[in-house]
Structure formats: structure tokens, C-alpha cells
Amino acid sequence: MAVFTKVSLKEARELLRRLHLGELQKLRGIEGGIENTNYFVTSDQGEFVLTLFERLTAEQLPFYLHLMKHLAQAGIPVPDPRADQRGAILHTVCGKPAAVVNRLPGQSQLAPQAAHCAAVGDMLARMHLAGRGYERQQPNLRGLPWWNETVPVVLPHLTPEQADLLGAELAYQNHIAASSAYTALPRGPVHADLFRDNVMFDGEQLTGFFDFYFAGVDTWLFDLAVCLNDWCIDWATGAHHAERAGAMLRAYQAVRPLAAAERQLINAMLRAGALRFWISRLWDYYLPREASMLTPHDPAHFERVLRQRIAHPLQA
Ligand SMILES: Nc1ncnc2c1ncn2[C@@H]1O[C@H](COP(=O)(O)OP(=O)(O)OP(=O)(O)O)[C@@H](O)[C@H]1O
Ligand SMILES: N[C@@H](CCO)C(=O)O
């Protein structure tokens, strides 16, 4: 888990008072998560999550926090950032930018069935449509420019075979990004990291999407591809799981049918989604940060997913 910054009871108590969220009863560091410091905070008014942002800056954060508020107001089940009496939703704790949101009910479903994948597909499409009225702009900060910047940093750590694959896939994605089909893809605010551990369920009922701190304006298809690569694969091999992928795609398209350019580029975006997380996991693995409890994710997993996506494209 990641508690990069320790928050004292006194600081938590003062923050709750500033936000009129009642008297602190309990403060507990959260296991899981590798990006930010997270605490569950219990007060006499309910349960909240306090996040201290370790990498994102006070300039970048309003995009995410206001997006969550926008989506919550549109009826999408996402955490709603709490404001102080001046209406500010970005706070400062221990000298770091911080937010307090409501704790979502439910639990992660780490072994999803087709019904869970359908629920994610349905809500993802609803979220994309709900994001259309959101006016703030910020690119996906883990998009192509970041891949181009980061690949040279991780390459020296790889075997020649891995370096060939990484280099070739990056060249392919630069080529795709310059194509007219790519330019035609519909875009808007996307979550961009909607893995199994960022969705809550109560049984088969989806109760929330959270962890919007990799969100950005990007193609809707990339967001869908990230979900397919995590929810709808065989975990051990990274191979496509036809039943779960079919369920997610049908549910997504029942809300928002894919456009022609999206059908054309779905395999390229599945590869892009695998590449994005292979690079970030390599980066986290070989250039780690200090944290009191931190388990880096396995980069080899997304190397396998990428190889699968290249060898076995989806049939239209
Ligand atoms: N709003 C919320 N409601 C309920 N639980 C939450 C909420 N936000 C975070 N959590 C819990 O905290 C854990 C860690 O949060 P999160 O996944 O956002 O970590 P992170 O370090 O910010 O991101 P990452 O997943 O990218 O490493 C989650 O797995 C979940 O159990
Ligand atoms: N979902 C990412 C972690 C960063 O949110 C991964 O599995 O690599």
C-alpha cells in the first residue's frame, strides 16, 4: 500500500472541521494504490476518503476534481469532492494538495463474470456521454507524448527482445496517431485507468467508479480498450476472453454504438492500452519512489497482454 505522507489525527480533525464534515472518529491508511496517499476517515457524519496527491500538482488537479463533481451531478456513481465554506474542493494537507470525497459503498470484484463486465460497459458509455458537457480541458497525461518520453528511460533495463517489442509498438502507435481514422475518433473526458480495482460492486450491481487521477481528454475508444484489457482477459495468459469482452462491448454499444472509425481502430487501441500500462509499470518498477508500504505492479503482465493483442486481433 502507499502511505507516502503520514497525516496526524490533529491535521485530519482540523480538515474535517474546515469542511463541516463532523468530528473525527477514526483515521486509517488504505492498503492498495500506488500513486497517492489515501486514508479512510470516519466522522459522526459518515465515511470519507482523504487523498494527498503525491505527483499531481495543484494546477492539474482541478480538472479531475471538477470532472468528478460534474459526473456525480449527472448521476454517474463517482466520488463527489467536498467543498470548504468558500466552495474550494482542492485543499492542502501536510503541504500537499488534497481532496476529501465520500466513500463509495461496495467492494472491488477482482474475479469478474460477464454480468460485471456488462455493468462496466454500460456505465462507461453513460459516463462518456455525461462528460460531453464538461468544459475543462486537460490531455491524458499518460498518453503518447509521455510514452515517447518514458520509453528511452526504461529501455536500458530491458532484454534486447523486449526492447525490440517496445520500440516497434511505440513506432506503430505514433503511426496510428497520425492517421485520419485516429483523428476521426470521438473524444472527451475519459477515466483512462478503469481497472477491476477502481470499480465498486454490491453483488452484480455496480456501485461506483473511482480513482479519476489519470483521467484526461482522450478518445473514448482508448478508455474502452483499457477496460477490455483488464476486465475481459484470461489473467494468467493475458488472452482475450470472448464471453466477457462480448458482454462489455454489447452493453457499451447498447448505450453508445461505436462509430466506423472506432470499429476500424479497436485493435490498435487495445494495443495502445496494453503499451500504456507496460510502460508505466516498467517505469514504476525500475524508477521506484519511497513509500512506507508499496507493492509495484508486475510489468510482465502487460508485456503478455500486448503480445496477445498483436498475435490475436479481435475479429470485427
Ligand atoms: N471513494 C472511495 N470509496 C471507497 N473506497 C475508496 C475510494 N477511494 C479509494 N478507495 C479505496 O482506496 C484504495 C486505493 O485507492 P486508489 O486506487 O485510488 O489508489 P491510488 O494510489 O490513488 O491509485 P492507483 O490505483 O492508481 O494506484 C482503493 O482500492 C479503495 O479500496
Ligand atoms: N491500474 C494501473 C495502476 C495505476 O493506477 C496498473 O495496474 O498498472
Please give the residue range of the domain that contains residue 69: 9-102
Kindly identify the ligand whose nearest atom is closest to the C-alpha of 213: 1
The residues near 104 (Cβ < 8 Å, ≥ 6 apart) are 77, 79, 200, 207, 208, 210
- pLDDT by position in tens, the chain (length 316): 467 899 999 999 999 999 999 999 999 999 876 679 999 999 999 999 999 999 889 999 999 999 999 999 999 999 999 999 999 999 999 999 999 999 999 999 999 999 999 999 999 999 999 999 999 999 999 999 999 999 999 999 999 999 999 999 999 999 999 999 999 999 999 999 999 999 999 999 999 999 999 999 999 999 999 999 999 999 999 999 999 999 999 999 999 999 999 999 999 999 999 999 999 999 999 987 665 446 778 999 999 999 999 999 997 6
Residue 316 resides in a domain: no
Domain count, the chain: 2
pLDDT at 35: 77
pLDDT at 81: 97
Question: What CATH number does residue 226 fall under?
Answer: 3.90.1200.10
pLDDT at 316: 64
CB 270 within 8 A of CB 7: no
Q: How far apart are CA 45 and CA 65, in angstroms?
A: 21
Q: Ligand 1 pocket test: pick from 30, 102, 194 the residue with the most ligand atoms within 8 Å of its Cβ.
A: 30
Strand partners, 46: 43
Indicate whether 140 and 98 sit together in one domain.
no
Residue 177 resides in a domain: yes
- Residue 281 Cβ inside 6 Å of ligand 2? The answer reads yes
Indicate whether 202 and 251 sit together in one domain.
yes
pLDDT at 1: 45
pLDDT at 293: 47
pLDDT at 210: 97
- Residue 182 Cβ inside 6 Å of ligand 2? The answer reads no
Q: How far apart are CA 208 and CA 235, in angstroms?
A: 23
> Looking at ligand 1, which residue's alpha carbon is closest to its atom 24?
33
The three grid cell numbers given for residue 213, joined into one nine-digit string: 487521477
Q: Please give the model's pTM, rounded to 2 decimal places.
A: 0.94
CA of 38 to the centre of ligand 1 (A): 7
Report residues whose beta carbon is within 6 angstroms of any ligand 1 atom: 2, 30, 32-36, 38, 49, 79, 101, 103-104, 193, 197-198, 210-211, 213
- Residue 195 Cβ inside 6 Å of ligand 2? The answer reads yes
pLDDT at 294: 60
CA of 198 to the centre of ligand 1 (A): 7
Indicate whether 84 and 119 sit together in one domain.
no
Residue 307 CB-half CA count within 13 A: 12
Indicate whether 133 and 229 sit together in one domain.
yes
Q: Answer with the one of 102, 124, 152 that is the final residue of a domain.
A: 102
Question: What CATH number does residue 95 fall under?
Answer: 3.30.200.20
CA of 35 to the centre of ligand 1 (A): 9
Indicate whether 211 and 298 sit together in one domain.
yes
Indicate whether 134 and 224 sit together in one domain.
yes
Indicate whether 96 and 127 sit together in one domain.
no
Please give the number of the atom of ligand 1 that sits closest to the Cα of 213.
22
Q: Answer with the one of 33, 68, 102 that is the final residue of a domain.
A: 102
Q: How far apart are CA 153 and CA 1, in angstroms?
A: 25
CA of 197 to the centre of ligand 2 (A): 9
Q: Answer with the one of 102, 130, 151 that is the final residue of a domain.
A: 102
CA of 45 to the centre of ligand 2 (A): 31
